[in-house]
Amino acid sequence: MPGMKRKYTKIVNATADPAHNIVAGEPFMINLLAPKGQPFQFAVVSADERSRAFTRIIPFPIEAETGPCHLSVVEIIPAYAGILITLSGLQSNEAVVLKCNCGNKGYETKGTADEKGIFKAAVQTGVKGKQSGKLEFELKAQSCKVGMQIPWGKGAEKFQ
């Protein structure tokens, strides 16, 4: 798409793939065109399939920091209909309150960080009868308070 920023990742293949113009031992590019917060999963497998490595990357993360805390949001259902909120930097087993407001629908839920100080919550964003909107959320803990707005629905995904 014209005028869009593109994120490229270099991959080196030990074997040639002439059908895709890949020369053995030379790097080739993978074009990652995605909206913010969308994860990509990759596997690198040896020719004999004995060695394997797996990874997940988010080329355009949705993040915020405040004090010791780091907030990240990952799209888990297209058009941000579902997101995974992760808050790290908390104390072990620290109490967390998540307040969400999506249209006229608001709710509050309480949880606890794990022993590593990480709190995760999956949130469904849609509102019945609406094609799009904004989810506003805030996380409060003794260590920090952080929040943001996430657009959802039709037109919410802006490819980078």
Tokens 């309150």 sit on residue = 97
Domains of the chain plus CATH, in order, are: 7-57 (no CATH), 62-153 (2.60.40.230)
88-140 residue pLDDT tens: 999 999 999 999 998 777 899 999 999 999 999 999 988 888 899 999 999 99
Q: Residue 10: which pLDDT band, with cuts at 50, 70 and 90?
A: low
Place of tokens 């988010």: 58
- Higher pLDDT: 38 or 127? It is 38
Coil, strand, or helix at residue 26?
Answer: coil
Q: What is the CA 63 to chain-centroid distance, rounded?
A: 9
Residue 118 has a CB neighbour count (10 Å cut-off) of: 14
